[in-house]
Every structure is written in structure tokens, then in C-alpha cells.
Amino acid sequence: MKNTANNLPQIETEIQQLLTKEKKSWKKIGELMLIVKNQELYKGEFKSFTKWVGHVSYSTNVATSYIWRIFKASRTFLGLIASDKPEDLHQATSTPYQLETFAQIEKYAPKDIVEVQMEKILSGDAKTKELRETWNAVKLNQLERFNETEFNNSQFNEVNNVTLADTQLNTLTADEVYEVVTLKTEWVRTLCLQHYPFIAKMSTPTETKSFKEVTVRIDTEEKTRFGKPKPQRRRFDAIMTIKPHYAAYGEELMTAGIEIKVSKHDLLNDDKFEEYIGWTDFFFFAVPHKLVESAMEKAESSEHSDLIGVLDVEKGEMVKVPVRQEVGVREKMEVYREIVFK
């Protein structure tokens, strides 16, 4: 296939048809997505591959997170077989969820555990339950190692006469961060001005409402024992609704999803934050000042970097401004439904 954007409409049509079928062919979808990504077919019409994925999600009413899962699973499998040919994806016998879980295991688990699960993925013997249990065990091991490090640090502090007050000075709790970020809202005004500059001449303030712990449901290929869809649940630490000006309505109304981090360990080991992309108009890490640099690095390392913002809650500043997302109708309805019935 030639490297030309003229192929993009044809590919989009095929992907849309595949995504709207009851039994989705994830390998073909992944192959087409890899072609668009590798050949940069999205350029010209879209600012980034991420924006193009958002467009596909919006046009098919399929959750962005599900489409990204297919893409990541595709890259994971091709990496396992050391291939750069999208068509080789059809050799896969695992599900996107299994490949996604394996990718997490591969990142943090010891080599022997990775090799065992890799062999099962490639041979078609992978089991979702076993992969999930392995990943949970790996996470637990990581946590134990972290706690041991913290214990050793506390011993060091005691020996060297470093007091608890010294080590925890100016440390905010998650609840305190929530209170600050939802009350100290100068950053919201700044965000609104970037999208609606004319409100600078208005005397009426930007209106916001905050909602703590909002749950959304992400599509998977798993089924319950009754044969019904079994979505995964993800919970935003907070979602804010934003009315930029007194007459705003429809598409002018905005939402911001907020993930609160007060621990560097929690921030750096968060491997699910990208699944919040596509549910709100904006997404932010809200962190104390001491974690701003780490949050910036975390955001920049993501494939969705342009969609991830960073808030310095102690200064009330937006230190990284995210691009506004294209949110599908289904995602909008679910978020507002959760908010209304909280």
C-alpha cells in the first residue's frame, strides 16, 4: 500500500465496518491501524495519530480505550515475533486483553516469568485468568519491594536524626489535593480562555462543578457466565464539568477528568491511566509541586502525550496544557449518567 493519504478513507471505512460488527476482527483492525500509524496516513487531515483514533471512535461510537487496546495488543504481538509487517498479526491466537496483560507482565516481572507467559502467548495456550493472576502477583511483589525500601529509608532517617516532620513537610493527601484542585480553579479559567478567547471581555465567571470518584465501564471481549458483556471498571478520582460562560451550551460545555497522585511510586507505576483517554474533553494529572517534574515525564512518555495535562495543585497552575479530545456520544452519556446518579 502506497504512502498516501488517499488510502485513508478506504481504510477508515473498512475499520468502521469491522468495529460495528458484533464479532469484531481485532487482528484485521490492528493491521489497518498499524498501516495508518507506520505510513503516517493520518497526517494532513489530523494533527496526530491520537486525534485520528479519536475520530474513528467518534464515528463508530466504539470506546476509544477499546480501539487503543487493539492497537497496543497488535504492537505487542509483532514485538514478540520480531516482525514489522502488520499482516503478520494474523498469526496471533491470543486476545487483545491477554496481550495487554502480558505487556504489563513483561515490563515488571522477572525474566523467567516473562518467558513462561511468552511461550504460552505464542503457542496459543495463554489463559486470561492465569495472566491476570500472574500480573496481580507481580504488582504485589513490586509493592512489597517498595515498602521494604520505605522501611530502610525510615531506618536511615532514625539513625541520622531526620524527623518525620522533616520527611513529610508539605506532603498533601489525596483528599487535600482534591479540595485544592476543585476550589482553586484559576487553571480552569486559563483553559477556557484558550478555547473561547472572547470570554475575557465577560464579567461573569466560569462555572464549575466537581464530582469525586466517577466510574466508567470499558468494553472488553470477555463475557459473564450468562454470556453477557463483561466490561472493566475504571474510576476517575474526579471529574469536573465546566461552563466557560453564562450562555454556553451543547459542545461549548466541557468536562475534565482528573487523576490525583500524591506518591511518586503510585504515579510512576500507574499503567492504567491511558484508559481514561476518550471519556472527558480533557485529562489531567493533579499533583503536588514536588511531583510536577515526574508527572511531566509520565505524560510525555505516553502515546497520548498531547492529550494529557498536568496540574500543579499547590500553585494552582496548569503546567502542561492538554489538547481537547473528541469524545464519543456513548462515553459522554455514560459520564453524565454517572454524575447525575451519584
Q: Are residues 110 and 190 in the same domain?
A: no
CB neighbours of 19 closer than 8 A, spacing ≥ 6?
Answer: 29, 56, 60, 62, 67
Strand partners, 318: 311
Tell me which DSSP letter residue 84 carries. -
Q: State the Cα–Cα distance between residues 212 and 240, nearest whole angstrom.
A: 9
CB neighbours of 8 closer than 8 A, spacing ≥ 6?
Answer: 36, 41, 42, 45
Nine-digit cell at 66? 477499546
- Domain ranges, residue 72: 5-128
Q: State the Cα–Cα distance between residues 108 and 234, nearest whole angstrom.
A: 22
Q: Are residues 183 and 311 in the same domain?
A: yes
Instruction: Residue 112: count other Cβ atoms within 10 Å of its Cβ.
Output: 7
Cβ atoms of 101 and 117 within 8 Å: the answer is: no
Q: State the Cα–Cα distance between residues 262 and 211, nearest whole angstrom.
A: 19
**Is residue 34 a part of any domain in this protein?**
yes
The domain boundary, picked from 72, 104, 128, lies at 128
Q: Are residues 235 and 92 in the same domain?
A: no
Q: Are residues 102 and 183 in the same domain?
A: no
**Is residue 18 a part of any domain in this protein?**
yes
CB neighbours of 275 closer than 8 A, spacing ≥ 6?
Answer: 65, 68, 218, 232, 234
Q: Are residues 62 and 186 in the same domain?
A: no
- For β-strands 207-218 and 282-287, DSSP reports them as unpaired
Compute CA distances 305 → 58, 59, 97, 132, 151, whole Å.
20, 22, 23, 27, 34
**Is residue 136 a part of any domain in this protein?**
no
**Is residue 315 a part of any domain in this protein?**
yes
Tell me which DSSP letter residue 285 carries. E
CB-based burial label for 342 (10 Å; 0-12, 13-18, 19+): exposed
Q: Are residues 195 and 313 in the same domain?
A: yes
**pTM score of the predicted model:** 0.59
Strand partners, 216: 234
Q: State the Cα–Cα distance between residues 219 and 229, nearest whole angstrom.
A: 8
Q: Are residues 227 and 302 in the same domain?
A: yes
Nine-digit cell at 320? 502542561
Q: Quick one: how far is CA 91 from the chain centroid?
A: 28
Q: Are residues 243 and 96 in the same domain?
A: no
Nine-digit cell at 120? 504460552
Q: Are residues 104 and 235 in the same domain?
A: no
Tell me which DSSP letter residue 83 carries. -
Q: State the Cα–Cα distance between residues 317 and 337, nearest whole angstrom.
A: 30
Q: Are residues 199 and 312 in the same domain?
A: yes
CB neighbours of 328 closer than 8 A, spacing ≥ 6?
Answer: 57, 58, 61, 62, 63, 64, 278
Domain count, the chain: 2
Q: State the Cα–Cα distance between residues 135 and 114, nearest whole angstrom.
A: 10
**Is residue 180 a part of any domain in this protein?**
yes
The domain boundary, picked from 93, 128, 163, lies at 128
Q: Are residues 91 and 188 in the same domain?
A: no
pLDDT tens for the 342 residues of the chain, in order = 444 446 889 999 999 889 887 666 899 999 999 999 999 999 888 888 888 888 888 888 887 878 888 998 999 999 999 888 999 999 999 999 899 889 888 887 888 999 999 999 999 999 998 998 998 888 777 666 655 554 555 554 544 444 433 334 346 788 888 888 888 888 999 999 988 899 888 888 889 999 988 988 877 777 766 677 777 788 899 999 999 988 888 888 999 999 999 988 889 888 888 889 999 999 999 999 999 999 999 998 888 889 999 999 988 889 999 999 988 888 889 899 888 875
**Is residue 167 a part of any domain in this protein?**
no
Cβ atoms of 295 and 267 within 8 Å: the answer is: yes
Tell me which DSSP letter residue 215 carries. E
**Is residue 220 a part of any domain in this protein?**
yes
Q: Are residues 244 and 107 in the same domain?
A: no
- Is the C-alpha dihedral spanning 4, 304, 256, 183 positive or negative? negative
**Is residue 140 a part of any domain in this protein?**
no
